[in-house]
Amino acid sequence: MAAGEDFQLRLQNIELLSSTLYSGIEIFLVLDGELIIETNSRFYHLKEYDYLVINRNQLYQVKGSKKNTVLTLSVPDSFISTYYSEYRHYQFDLFSQQIDRGKETMMSEMRKLLAQLMVIYCRQEEGYRLEMHEMVCKILLMLIRRFKKEGRISENIQVEDSRLKEIILYLEQHFDEPLTLEEVAHKFYLSPSYFSRYFKQQLGIGFIGFLMNIRLEHSVKDLLYTDESITYISLKNGFPNTKSFSSLFKKVYGETPHTFREKNVQEKVALVENFQLKDTEILLSSPDILMKLGVLITEGENAKSFSNTETRLEELKIEVGSANRKILKHPNQILMIGELRELLKKSVRTQILLAKEDLNIKYIGIQKLLSGRTIPPAVETDELIPTTSPYYNSDEVIQFMKTNELSLFIQVNYTEIATAEDAYLHKLQSFLKHCLQVFGESYLSTWCFLFSETFDQAFAGKQLEKFYLKLRKLIKTEIPSIQVGAFLPFSFTAGTTNDQYKWILQQAAEIDFLAYKVSPNEVINFKELIDHHYGLAKDFIKEKTEKLKQYLKAHSIDKPLHLLTWNTISGNTRYTNGTFFRGALILNDAIKVSDDVKTLGFWINTETHEQNMGGKDIPLEGMELFHYFNGKRPVYYAMSFFKKLQGKVVAKGPSYIMTENERGYQLVLMNSNIVNPYFSIEETFLQKLMREIRVTISGIPSGEYQIRKYVFDKDHGALYKNWRENNSKYGMDQEIIDYIIRTSHPSLEVFDEMVDEEWSFYSYLTVNAVHFFEIRKVNL
C-alpha cells in the first residue's frame, strides 16, 4: 500500500523475503503470527506485537509463518535527511524483546504511533496525509532522541587507541564524501605526515587503502542486492569516478564490477513489492486485526506516557568501586514548633511522632520559652503550698519529648528580653532548677540553647556580648554539659559578618556551636523574569556553607554548625506556591551539606510557621513538613529518602548517589533544575527540562536481586497537585482531605532482576523528580 511519495506503509502477510537492502529505515510490527528476520549478524524472532528497526543499508532477509499479519513502515533516506542531515551517521538500536527495564512505556508509545498511522490511512479523513506525516515524524523523533547510537567501527579491526577509534568511526560515517588525508589529519589536530605514519603503524594499512576498502564493502552490497548502475554505485560510495572504482574492484576481486555482478546474478534479489490497496483491505476486513490495532492504541494511551520528544537520551555509567568509600552522614534535624505549648495539641504530637519515625528528628525547636504562654506569670496566693504549678503545661510536654527521645532546642531572642535582663535570667534559673528536679541532669544535658536577636534591631555588639556571657554562665552553672551557642549572621556577598556580631569571633572559646541560615532568595530578584543570578542558586546552600567555614577557619574557629533556616529556590510563593515541585532540589542540597552541618532545621507545619511570622504572607524562609492538616509536603518525603539512604558511598555525581549497605545497594537519581518559579505554571516549558537516562551499573556481584523503585515527583508525592485537582469553590470536607492525604505519596514498583556483571535500565525524570532504587541481594 503506497502512502505517499515520501514513505510507504504496508499491511501484509510475509512468508519469505530474500536478502534485501533498503536505503532508509524500515520498521516491522507483527500483529499476528511470527516472523524471523536475519541480518548479517543475527536472527530476530518476532512474535505478536514485537517490532524491529532495520537500519539504512543493513542487509536482511525475512521468513514468516503462513498466517501472519505484519505492519511495515519504510522511510527512505531522502525523507529523513531533509529534516535531519546527520541521520546517515547513526544507527538505531530497537528490538522490542530486548530493551532495558524502564523503557516499557516507550515501547507502548511506538506501537500506538504505528497503529494510529495505519488507522489514519484507512479512514482517510480530511487532511489525513498531513496527519500521517506528523505521525511518521513523531516516530523518527523517538528513534533519534531515544534509540540513536554511533555508527559502528569495522568488526575486523581491533584497536585500543581511543583517538584511532574516533578516526575510524569518522571514516565509517563519511566514507561517501570526498575525504583527503590532509583534511582528516587537520580535523584531529595532527600533521599530515605524522597522521600518515601513525595510521599505518597502528592498522598495518595506509589511510587511502583503508578508506577505499570501506567504500568497496558498501559497493559490493549495492552490486549484489540492487539494480543501480555501476556509475551510480561508484559515485554513491565516494569514488571520484567509475574508472577508479573499477580498477580497485578488479585488483581486489580479480574481475570487473560488471563481470562480478553477472556471475553472482543468483545472489541478486528484487526489492520488496508493494501490496496494492485491495490486498490491504482484505487484511483489514478481519475483525481480529482491527481489534489488535485498537488494543495497541489503547495500551499506548493508558500507559504512564513519557512521549515528550523535547528531551534527549543521556547515558549514565556507574562503576561500583572499592576505593575511597566513606559512610554517608545524616545530620540530625530540628523541628521548630514556635512556642512549647504547641505540643499540647494532639495534631502537633501526631505530626511529630510521624516525623520521628520517618525522618532524623532529634530536637524540638522553640521560641519564647519564658515570655510566651506555656509558662504563665506567677500569681499571688495565700496558700502555704500552692495547689497549681506554673510549670504544669511545660512538664507535660517535656515528659512527652523525653518519652520519645526528643530534646529541646531553645532560642533565646535578646530583643524580647533586652529591657528586663535580670528578670529573665531569674525566671530561667528557676525553670532550669525545676526541670533538673523533675527530669534529671542527664536528659537536660541533651538540650541546646541558642542566643540570637531580631536582626532589624541595632543593639551594640558589647551589649550582646555581655548578656550572652551572663546567660551562658547561668546555664552552665546549673547544667555543665549542656550546649550553648550563638546565631552568626553571615553575608555571602561580603564574605563576613557585621561589626556588631564580631564579638562572636572573639568569644569563640565560650561558644559551643554556631547557627546560621541560607536561602537562594538572598541573591535573586524574583521581579526579574530573566536574571543571570538564577545560576547562583544551583549550589548556593553548599557554597555559602563552605564560605562560612572558610571564614571561621581564617579566625581559627572550628565549631559544630546548625543550619537552622534554609530553603531551596522558591520565589514569591503567593503566586507560585505548590506549582514548582522542588523535591530533588531539597534532597540534593541536604546531601551536599551533610558533611558540613550537625543539624538541619524545619518547621512542623504551614499554620504554625505563619502564626510565628505574625500572620504575614506565606514565609519565604524555612520549609514545613506538613500542610494545615496532616498532609505531608514534598520536603517530608525528600528527607525521608535521605534517611532511607544508608551505607558507604560507592559512586557519586552531580545528579546521582549510590551506596552499599548490608542489604545490597541503593541508588538515587535526581533531575535538579533551577528555574524561575514563575515558569513552573507553563507545562510546555517544564517538558523541556525532563530527563531520560539510560543507567548502566557495573561492578556489583552477579546474582538475583529484588529491586524496589520509588518515584517521587509532581505526580507522586506533591500534595498541592491533589489539593488543586480535588478542591472546589464550595470547600472540602474531611472525606476529601483524607483522600488527598492517602493519594499524595511516592509510588512504589517491586520487581526481580538477574544481574550478570552489569545491569542497565531507563529512568524518565520530570522536573526535580527523585527516583530511589533499593537493590537488595537475594540470599537463597
The DSSP call for residue 500 is G
Please check whether the two domains, 162-267 and 330-644, share a CATH topology. Answer: no
Q: Quote the pLDDT of residue 278.
A: 35
State the architecture of 310-328+645-780 in CATH terms. Answer: Sandwich (2.60)
Query: What order do you get walking across the sheet with 326-327 strand by strand?
Result: 326-327, 648-653, 656-661, 664-670, 770-777, 703-712, 747-755
Q: Quote the pLDDT of residue 252.
A: 86
In the block, residue with C-alpha cell 524502564: 102
* Torsion of Cα atoms, 382 then 384 then 388 then 391, to 10°: 110
Question: Is 146 or 704 the better-scoring residue by pLDDT?
Answer: 704
Quote the percentage of the chain above a pLDDT of 70: 84
| Cell (9 digits) for 596 | 558540613
Q: Which amino acid is at 289?
A: I
Strand partners, 565: 517
Residue 23 has pLDDT above 60, yes or no: yes
Banded model confidence at residue 617, pLDDT cuts 50, 70, 90: low
Q: Quote the pLDDT of residue 362.
A: 97
Domain boundaries, the chain: 8-148+277-309, 162-267, 310-328+645-780, 330-644
Question: Is 513 or 209 the better-scoring residue by pLDDT?
Answer: 513
State the architecture of 8-148+277-309 in CATH terms. Answer: Sandwich (2.60)
Q: Which top CATH class is 330-644?
A: alpha beta
- Averaged pLDDT for residues 53-58: 82
CB atoms within 10 A of CB 298: 13
What fold characterizes domain 162-267?
Arc Repressor Mutant, subunit A (1.10.10)
Question: Is 127 or 364 the better-scoring residue by pLDDT?
Answer: 364
Q: Quote the pLDDT of residue 668.
A: 98
Query: In Å, how far are 503, 517, 538 from 551, measured between CA atoms?
Result: 14, 15, 21
Q: Which of 53-67, 262-276, 365-379, 540-554 has the highest mean pLDDT?
A: 540-554
Strand partners, 316: 695
Q: Quote the pLDDT of residue 438.
A: 96
Residue 281 has pLDDT above 50, yes or no: no
CB 630 within 8 A of CB 345: no
Residue 527 has pLDDT above 70, yes or no: no
Q: Which of 107-121, 146-160, 476-490 has the highest mean pLDDT?
A: 476-490
Q: Quote the pLDDT of residue 268.
A: 44
- Averaged pLDDT for residues 544-560: 96
Q: Helices in 43-103 by DSSP H: which ranges?
A: 77-83
Q: Quote the pLDDT of residue 274.
A: 34
CB 624 within 8 A of CB 566: no
Mean pLDDT of all residues belonging to the chain: 84
Identify the CA nearest to 623 among candidates 633, 612, 611: 633
Question: Is 676 or 412 the better-scoring residue by pLDDT?
Answer: 412
